[in-house]
Amino acid sequence: AAVVFSLRAIPGSGPGATWWMIDDLKFDQQFLSVLSLIGGIVALVGMFVFRRFMAERSIAYVVGFLTIVGTVLALPITGMYYGLHEWTASLTGGIVDARFIALIDTALESPLVQISMIPMLAWIANSAPANLKATFFAVMASFTNLALSLGQLGTKYLNEIFVITRAVRDQATGTIQTPADYSQLGELLIVQLLLGLFIPFSAILFAKVTKFKSV
């Protein structure tokens, strides 16, 4: 449970990455909605496909595996900030552009967080006393919500350190009142990626060397 908590508590990059995709990569709301839909569908399929993998391995192993895969799959978005999509588009005649990379990356990455919850739920079902299973599930649901809140707090602090601003226009005249500034977005994405790798493995190591190793 502590290991899963660490995975859910990883801070995100905040809205800055989405602003940048809309402003610089020209992703519109329709395309972002398509990405969200693909993510939800692939997540359901992924949970079905990987059910045996999750059933046969420990929570620590599954979380460690998902952490590594998630870190690798986060690299394309970070790479696009530094021009990866321009390089791939020039090599493929415009086929592998920013939208192509975003679609593939979303399809591969979306099942990871949902899959990470299943071993913990299975652990509760096997470990909780028969007359307390509902209570255990309620407690663990609150536990994971606490982890998500901690992750949101971490996101807030990251965005205070790495300031990302979107252009603000005057509604009447259309003139830019506050210019967009994405100069620190690359650093933010890199730090968030490193935290996403460091936090779960620190929790796995902690669980292995303490009395929580059976959790």
pLDDT averages per 10-residue partition of the chain, 215 residues? 81 90 90 86 80 77 86 91 93 90 81 69 71 80 84 93 86 77 94 94 87 52
Token pair recorded at residue 197: 């790798």
Position 79 scores a pLDDT of 94
Report the run of H or E that residue 77 belongs to, with start and end. Answer: helix 59-81
CATH number, domain of 96, equals 1.20.1250
Q: How many domains does the chain have?
A: 1
Residue 168 belongs to what domain range? Answer: 2-214
Position 215 scores a pLDDT of 46
DSSP state of 9: T
Position 36 scores a pLDDT of 84
Q: Are 1 and 143 in contact (CB under 8 A)?
A: yes
Instruction: Identify which of 206, 200, 208 has the alpha carbon closest to the alpha carbon of residue 66.
Output: 200
| pTM score | 0.84
